[in-house]
Amino acid sequence: MSKRTTNSPDRAYTKITNRYDDVLTARKWWSRLYMNCIWKVDDNLVAKEVLEMLPDDFQGEILDVPVGTAVFTAEKFRNMRNAKIVGVDFSKDMLSIANERVFREKIENVGLQHGDVCKLAFENERFDAVLSMNGFHAFPASKYKSFCEIYRVLKRGGIFLGCFYVRGERRIADWIVRYVLDKKGFFTPPHFTKKEAIELLKSFYGEKVEVKNHRSILIFKCVK
């Protein structure tokens, strides 16, 4: 993987780890203001929509990358009693919070590990599903390599699903991404338009691609 810069996502997210869940879940007044005014999207509803694509009786092994703090997924994974989940993240601070959450909530089917999406430490076609929520806009500049690695570790017939930011759908969000989030290292350019994202997904998964967007957030489901 290319060398991480000073403002790389792992360093940037280290600074806000304790506030990360508040931002995503909009449970503070300032985070509600940020989500409602800038994005006009409720991440709680987006997460619910993505996770509903994985039935609770899903059987098999799931890779969650980046797992983050597991703020949206912990309850879902607890209910997926027939599934084994491997959560991977580059940020050790995020993993620390996720580990605490998994231990505190006694979720026994989740294992967490430090790793790099551009160089996943798993054999070919290992996973029955790969979940990637709010990952690709933060992944390093070699985003194509990230897609290649996920495709490599996904089984034939397996599903790849998640969500990420796409540019060109909301002007104020694009401005914040370009001049604040990218510069602070929370996001990493280049970013795809909706059309570019669909074309990229189809280059891997053909016509077995379903997408929709809530303004600047693209939700997708692909079958290998």
What distance in Å separates the CA atoms of residue 116 and residue 22, rounded to the nearest whole number?
25
Q: Give SS3 for 89.
A: strand
List the domain boundaries for the chain. Answer: 9-223
Q: Which residues contact 108 (CB under 8 A, 6 or more apart)?
A: none
pLDDT band at 38 (very low <50, low <70, confident <90, very high): confident
| 133 vs 27: which has the higher pLDDT | 133
pLDDT digits (tens, 9 = 90+) for 181-213: 999 988 999 999 999 999 999 999 999 999 999
Looking at residue 58, its pLDDT comes to 97
pLDDT > 70 in the chain, percent: 85
Q: Which residues contact 94 (CB under 8 A, 6 or more apart)?
A: 13, 17, 20, 66, 67, 68, 69
Looking at residue 36, its pLDDT comes to 78
| 52 vs 44: which has the higher pLDDT | 52
Give the DSSP H/E element, type plus range, for residue 44. helix 43-51
* Mean pLDDT in residue range 173-186: 94
Contact 9, 188 (CB under 8 A): yes
pLDDT band at 174 (very low <50, low <70, confident <90, very high): very high
pLDDT digits (tens, 9 = 90+) for 63-72: 999 999 999 9
pLDDT digits (tens, 9 = 90+) for 92-102: 988 999 999 99
* Mean pLDDT in residue range 148-173: 98
Q: Please give the structure tokens belonging to residue 2.
A: 């290319």
Considering Cα of 127, then 129, then 132, then 133, what sign does the dihedral take?
negative
* Mean pLDDT in residue range 74-87: 96
The dotted CATH code for 9-223 is: 3.40.50.150
